[in-house]
Amino acid sequence: MSAKADLISEIEDLVLANHILHAQGVLDSYGHVSFRSPERPDRFFMARAMAPARVTASDIMEFDIDGEPLARGGRSVYSERFIHSEIYKKRGDVRSVIHSHSPGVIPFSVTDVPLRAIMPPAGFLHTGVPVYEIRDASGMTDMLVRDPQRGKALAESLGDHAVALMRGHGDVVVGPELRTAVARAVYTEMNARIQLQAVLLAAGGRVEYMTEEECTLRKAGDNLDKRGSGHGSDRIWEGLKSELIDKQD
Amino acid sequence: MSAKADLISEIEDLVLANHILHAQGVLDSYGHVSFRSPERPDRFFMARAMAPARVTASDIMEFDIDGEPLARGGRSVYSERFIHSEIYKKRGDVRSVIHSHSPGVIPFSVTDVPLRAIMPPAGFLHTGVPVYEIRDASGMTDMLVRDPQRGKALAESLGDHAVALMRGHGDVVVGPELRTAVARAVYTEMNARIQLQAVLLAAGGRVEYMTEEECTLRKAGDNLDKRGSGHGSDRIWEGLKSELIDKQD
Amino acid sequence: MSAKADLISEIEDLVLANHILHAQGVLDSYGHVSFRSPERPDRFFMARAMAPARVTASDIMEFDIDGEPLARGGRSVYSERFIHSEIYKKRGDVRSVIHSHSPGVIPFSVTDVPLRAIMPPAGFLHTGVPVYEIRDASGMTDMLVRDPQRGKALAESLGDHAVALMRGHGDVVVGPELRTAVARAVYTEMNARIQLQAVLLAAGGRVEYMTEEECTLRKAGDNLDKRGSGHGSDRIWEGLKSELIDKQD
Amino acid sequence: MSAKADLISEIEDLVLANHILHAQGVLDSYGHVSFRSPERPDRFFMARAMAPARVTASDIMEFDIDGEPLARGGRSVYSERFIHSEIYKKRGDVRSVIHSHSPGVIPFSVTDVPLRAIMPPAGFLHTGVPVYEIRDASGMTDMLVRDPQRGKALAESLGDHAVALMRGHGDVVVGPELRTAVARAVYTEMNARIQLQAVLLAAGGRVEYMTEEECTLRKAGDNLDKRGSGHGSDRIWEGLKSELIDKQD
Q: Which of A179, A216, A218 to mutate to test the interface with D (most CBs of D within 10 A)?
A: A218
Tens of pLDDT, residue by residue over D173-193, are 999 999 999 999 999 999 999
Average pLDDT, chain B: 89
The minimal CB distance from D20 to the residues A120, A209, A240 is found for A240
Residues from chain D that touch C236, judged by Cβ atoms under 8 A, are: 29
Catalytic residue among A10, A80, A86, A189: A80
- CA A1 to chain B, closest CA, distance in angstroms equals 35
Q: Which of D105, D126, D171 to mutate to test the interface with A (most CBs of A within 10 A)?
A: D126
Kindly determine whether residue A206 and residue D201, on different chains, have CB atoms separated by under 8 Å.
no
- CA B47 to chain C, closest CA, distance in angstroms equals 27
Phi/psi of residue A84, nearest 5 degrees: -70, -50
Phi/psi of residue A193, nearest 5 degrees: -60, -45
What's the pLDDT band for B248 if we cut at 50, 70, 90? low
Residues from chain C that touch B243, judged by Cβ atoms under 8 A, are: 20, 23-24
* pLDDT for res B166: 96
Query: What is the Cβ-side half-sphere exposure of residue B117, based on CA atoms within 13 angstroms?
Result: 25
Touching partners of C (3+ C-beta pairs < 8 Å):
A, B, D
Asked about A212 being catalytic, the answer comes back as: no
* Over residues B17-21, mean pLDDT: 94
Q: How many CB atoms lie within 10 A of CB D15?
A: 18
The minimal CB distance from D111 to the residues A201, A219, A248 is found for A201
Active site residues of B: 80
The minimal CB distance from C205 to the residues A116, A124, A203 is found for A203
Kindly determine whether residue C119 and residue A180, on different chains, have CB atoms separated by under 8 Å.
no
Kindly determine whether residue C76 and residue D49, on different chains, have CB atoms separated by under 8 Å.
no
* pLDDT for res B221: 58
Residues from chain C that touch B197, judged by Cβ atoms under 8 A, are: 104, 106-107, 196
Tens of pLDDT, residue by residue over A40-95, are 999 999 999 998 989 999 999 999 999 999 999 999 999 999 999 999 999 999 99
Residues from chain C that touch A180, judged by Cβ atoms under 8 A, are: 233
Kindly determine whether residue A202 and residue C206, on different chains, have CB atoms separated by under 8 Å.
yes
Residue D216 reports pLDDT greater than 50: yes
Residues from chain D that touch A241, judged by Cβ atoms under 8 A, are: 16, 20
* pLDDT for res C198: 94
- CA D246 to CA A55: how far, in whole Å? 27
Residues of D with CB under 8 A from a CB of B: 118-120, 123, 190, 193-194, 197-198, 200-207, 209-212, 214-216, 218-219, 233-234, 236-237, 240-241, 243-244, 247-249
* pLDDT for res C225: 46
Residue A223 reports pLDDT greater than 70: no
Kindly determine whether residue C238 and residue D167, on different chains, have CB atoms separated by under 8 Å.
no
* pLDDT for res D56: 96
Lowest mean pLDDT among B23-27, B208-212, C13-17: B208-212
- CA C20 to CA C22: how far, in whole Å? 5
Predicted TM-score of the model (pTM): 0.89
Residues from chain C that touch D228, judged by Cβ atoms under 8 A, are: 76
Element housing B41 (H / E): none
Tens of pLDDT, residue by residue over B130-153, are 999 999 999 988 899 999 999 999
Please give the residue of chain A at the shortest CA–CA distance from D18. A244
* pLDDT for res B238: 75
- CA D36 to CA A84: how far, in whole Å? 51
* pLDDT for res A67: 98
Check if the beta carbon of residue A64 is closer than 8 Å to that of residue A46: no
Tell me how many residue pairs between chain A and chain C have CB atoms under 8 A apart.
117
The minimal CB distance from D118 to the residues B110, B180, B200 is found for B110
Residue B212 reports pLDDT greater than 90: no
* pLDDT for res C229: 43
Phi/psi of residue A153, nearest 5 degrees: -65, -40
- CA A236 to CA A231: how far, in whole Å? 7
* Over residues B109-114, mean pLDDT: 92
Residues from chain D that touch A205, judged by Cβ atoms under 8 A, are: 199-204
Touching partners of A (3+ C-beta pairs < 8 Å):
B, C, D
* pLDDT for res D227: 40
- CA B99 to chain C, closest CA, distance in angstroms equals 24
Touching partners of D (3+ C-beta pairs < 8 Å):
A, B, C
Kindly determine whether residue D140 and residue C214, on different chains, have CB atoms separated by under 8 Å.
yes
Residues from chain A that touch B83, judged by Cβ atoms under 8 A, are: none
The minimal CB distance from B143 to the residues A77, A214, A240 is found for A214
Q: Which of D56, D214, D247 to mutate to test the interface with C (most CBs of C within 10 A)?
A: D214
Please give the residue of chain D at the shortest CA–CA distance from C135. D214
Phi/psi of residue A32, nearest 5 degrees: -150, 155
Check if the beta carbon of residue A217 is closer than 8 Å to that of residue B139: no
Q: Which of D24, D113, D119, D224 to mutate to test the interface with B (most CBs of B within 10 A)?
A: D119
What's the pLDDT band for A229 if we cut at 50, 70, 90? very low
Kindly determine whether residue B51 and residue A230, on different chains, have CB atoms separated by under 8 Å.
no
Tell me how many residue pairs between chain C and chain D have CB atoms under 8 A apart.
134
DSSP symbols for C160-221 = T-SEEEETTTEEEEEESSHHHHHHHHHHHHHHHHHHHHHHHHTT-----PPPHHHHHHHHHH
Phi/psi of residue B159, nearest 5 degrees: 55, -135
Catalytic residue among D10, D80, D86, D189: D80
* Over residues D64-70, mean pLDDT: 97
Residues 6+ apart with CB under 8 A from D127: A212, D160, D161, D162
* Over residues D113-141, mean pLDDT: 91
Residue D104 reports pLDDT greater than 90: yes
Averaging pLDDT over each range in A195-209, B77-91, B233-247, D118-132, which range is the top one?
A: B77-91
Instruction: List the pLDDT tens digit at each of the 249 positions of chain C.
Output: 688 999 999 999 999 999 999 999 999 888 999 999 999 999 999 999 998 989 999 999 999 999 999 999 999 999 999 999 999 999 999 999 999 999 999 999 999 899 999 988 888 998 899 999 999 999 988 899 999 999 999 999 999 999 999 999 999 999 999 999 999 999 999 999 999 999 999 988 777 777 777 777 776 656 544 444 444 567 677 777 777 776 654
* Over residues A186-211, mean pLDDT: 88
Kindly determine whether residue C242 and residue D54, on different chains, have CB atoms separated by under 8 Å.
yes
Kindly determine whether residue D241 and residue B20, on different chains, have CB atoms separated by under 8 Å.
yes
Kindly determine whether residue A53 and residue B243, on different chains, have CB atoms separated by under 8 Å.
yes
Q: How far is CA C107 from CA A109, A161, B245, in A?
A: 22, 37, 30
Residue A227 reports pLDDT greater than 50: no
Kindly determine whether residue C199 and residue B215, on different chains, have CB atoms separated by under 8 Å.
no
* pLDDT for res D235: 67
* pLDDT for res C149: 97
* pLDDT for res D233: 62
The minimal CB distance from B144 to the residues A143, A200, A221 is found for A221
* pLDDT for res B230: 45
* pLDDT for res B235: 67
Tens of pLDDT, residue by residue over D27-49, are 988 899 999 999 999 999 999 99
Please give the residue of chain A at the shortest CA–CA distance from C217. A123
What's the pLDDT band for D229 if we cut at 50, 70, 90? very low
